[in-house]
A and B are shown apart, each in its own frame.
Chain A
Amino acid sequence: MTETTETRVPLVQLEGVGKHYGNIIALRDIDLEVDWSEITCVLGDNGAGKSTLIKIVAGLHKHDEGVFRIEGEPVSFGSPREALEHGIATVYQDLAVVPLMPVWRNFFLGSEKRTGAGPFARLDIRFMRRTAKRELLDMGIDLRDVDQPIGTLSGGERQCVAIARAVYFGAKVLILDEPTAALGVKQAGVVLRYIAQARERGLGVIFISHNPHHAYPVGDRFLLLKRGRSLGYYTKDEISLAELTAQMAGGAELDELAHELESAGVKGAPELREGARDLGLSD
């Protein structure tokens, strides 16, 4: 996959993209690139505009400003289905699974495999069961039973099912919305491994997170968002984990917080202040 693409045309490219809801500006002047076999991390706090950004790429909203290109071709999606047709698959925070439905039905939901023709077209249940089981096994998820409701799986397992589904359906770009947010340390590690695995398979990945400790080890590029604007756009060799964390936390604010805690007589405030100094945020 990697060899066939020209070096000059990125898989996904946003240039000066903006979005507003009425008079509320949710996103302004964002640049972003994702290439084959590459993970671009979008980092930011709550309300930074991460969700708006991925909704544009995923086809849930149209952008109002700037250019959005897929393999060099300018696009503007009217529905998630259109985005899917361009090879962009999204794994949402709420996982986009239907908890009461069996795993295999969830796996193929919206892209069901059928046999037979006309009014007798029916689901190819054997194929779908087998495929779901095999694909999950390939990703290292060994399920007891693909017939169990997906709601009975753990958060990490559900996340992996969603990723496996996107990979199986030939996604070129995988958007992951906070895939590790609600997970414990170990499960987050498992999910991060699948993200890296998706990259090894040649996919471009957009990884949304507010946790630099999850993003830095797997990411190739980092876009930092704050209040709908770009705080910075770095490749991995341009920024260290400490700097990334510092940028995310917002140095001045950390200092302010330390000051506040200090005046309230809370223990640990000096350490916080020291930490901020170490990161080169304040002096």
Chain B
Amino acid sequence: MSHTIERPAPPADERLAARSPIRKLLGRPEIGSLVGAVVLFVFFSLVADAFLRASSFSTVLYSSASMGIMAVSVSLLMIGGEFDLSAGVMVTSSALIASMFSYQLTLNVWAGVAVSLVVTLALGFLNGLIYVKTGLPSFIVTLGTFFMLAGLNLGFTKLITHNVATPSIEDMAGFAQARAVFAHDFTVGGVQISISVLWWLLFVAIATWILLRTRSGNWIFAVGGSATSARAVGVPVTRTKIALFMGVSFTAWFYGMHILFNFKSVQSGEGVGNEFFYIICAVVGGCLLTGGYGSAIGAAIGAFIWGMTSNGIVYAEWNPDWFKFFLGAMLLAATVVNLVVRRRAEAGK
């Protein structure tokens, strides 16, 4: 350590040999989920004949995207060291706002889409602001906003539409365009693909770029890994955390728009419980619950596992009532695998 310039090659090689390329690969956060995904894919291919059909694959992809879009931002937030339990109902809130705003005022649906974007981003900002100002754990803050939003969703919808669901907006101005953007289906080689799958992949790519190649990404890892250290070296911690909560609300808006323009009408009680699925996707994908570690690609693989399992059980003609048991067991298994893999990778530094 004390000799500066003369550095003989052999000792350097000897020290580096401890970290082989395989070890390096094992050190990636998403490796556990990748192995899991391959195992599940093989498993369902063997037990369910219908699983390998092209049409099944498009269904699996669609389910994966329906979790994956939210899992992207939820994983970023988790890497930043926080939770958002309001993410599930926020999707419904944004869809309700867009739907009711356009319908009640008989406006072009794009007006509703814009208003919904502003309000949903404000909700994310509020989550972040309450967290930053009170210093309470984000678990508690967003648990509060989760119930508040769930109540508001139902209350406002009943108050305005006198029903638990919004009326269909199918025949309103701008619907066709909006549907083309948020919920278009197209066929590639005889397989129907939802545009939401493409959006999902795009979001994963953007999130990965941000995480690994930008200053903001560096800050996300830093505020999750050690907020006090990050602050001490000049990272704007509060700004980063609020931005992460707003990232979640942005994807909540986006996915809410998909639901609205796919199903035309929105059930006000929807979305409750989905926040846990998003978290499961992120954790299965290798995000640490304590923050500072994880990847968006991992969360995407987590969502793909979710899509394969939820549909694979159906294709295998099992009773889908058991699905949640498998989901929970998978979460535990994934967490243990991640833990073991990471410990091994770190031990072999």
Q: CB within 8 Å of B: which residues of A?
A: 60, 79-81, 84, 90, 92, 94-101, 105, 108-112, 114, 121-123, 125, 137-138, 140-142, 144-145, 148-149, 152, 190
Contact = CB atoms under 8 A, between A and B. Distances in A.
Nearest to A95: B229
A112 B1 contact: no
B221 A122 contact: no
Contacts, number: 92
Contacts of B16: 144-145
A140 B6 CA distance: 11
B30 to A, nearest CB: 15
A112 B230 CA distance: 13
A142 B1 contact: yes
Given A100-B292, A100-B293, A123-B215, A109 B228 contact: no
Contacts of A125: 213
B319 interface: no
Contact of B230 (A84, A92, A110, A123): A110
Contact of B346 (A79, A108, A114, A149): A149
A256 to B, nearest CB: 38
Interface in B12-66: 12, 15-16, 19
Contacts of A99: 225-226
Contacts of A190: 1-2
B2 to A, nearest CB: 6
A93 B234 CA distance: 17
Given A101-B222, A105-B221, A144-B12, A96 B349 contact: no
B15 A140 contact: no
A145 B7 contact: no
Interface string B216-231: 0110011001101111
Given A144-B12, A145-B19, A152-B349, A138 B232 contact: no
A262 B152 CA distance: 73
B4 interface: yes
A98 B349 contact: no
B113 interface: no
A137 B217 CA distance: 27
Closest 4 CB pairs of A and B: A98-B225, A110-B234, A110-B233, A96-B232
Contacts of A110: 222, 230, 233-235
Given A109-B222, A122-B213, 6 more contacts: A105-B218, A123-B213, A123-B214, A138-B4, A140-B1, A142-B7
A141 B19 contact: no
Which secondary structure dominates where chain B touches chain A? helix
Contacts of A123: 213-215, 217-218
Given A98-B226, A114-B215, A149-B346, A80 B292 contact: no
Contacts of B233: 80, 96, 109-111
Of the four ranges (under 10, 10 to 19, 20 to 34, 35 or more), the interface on chain B belongs to: 20 to 34
28 contacts: A60-B232, A79-B234, A84-B234, A94-B229, A96-B229, A96-B232, A96-B233, A97-B229, A98-B222, A98-B229, A99-B225, A101-B218, A101-B221, A109-B222, A109-B230, A109-B233, A110-B222, A110-B233, A111-B233, A111-B234, A114-B215, A123-B215, A137-B4, A140-B4, A141-B1, A142-B1, A142-B3, A142-B7
A123 B220 CA distance: 14
Nearest to B11: A142
B234 to A, nearest CB: 4
Contacts of B15: 144
Contacts of A84: 234
Nearest to A153: B349
A95 B15 CA distance: 25
Contact of B349 (A95, A100, A122, A148): A148
Given A81-B234, A109-B233, A152-B346, A98 B214 contact: no
A101 B292 contact: yes
A141 B4 CA distance: 8
Contacts of B293: 100
A152 B234 CA distance: 23
Contacts of B234: 79-81, 84, 110-111
Contact of A101 (B1, B12, B19, B225): B225
Nearest to A193: B2
Contacts of B349: 148-149, 152
A116 to B, nearest CB: 10
A109 B4 contact: no
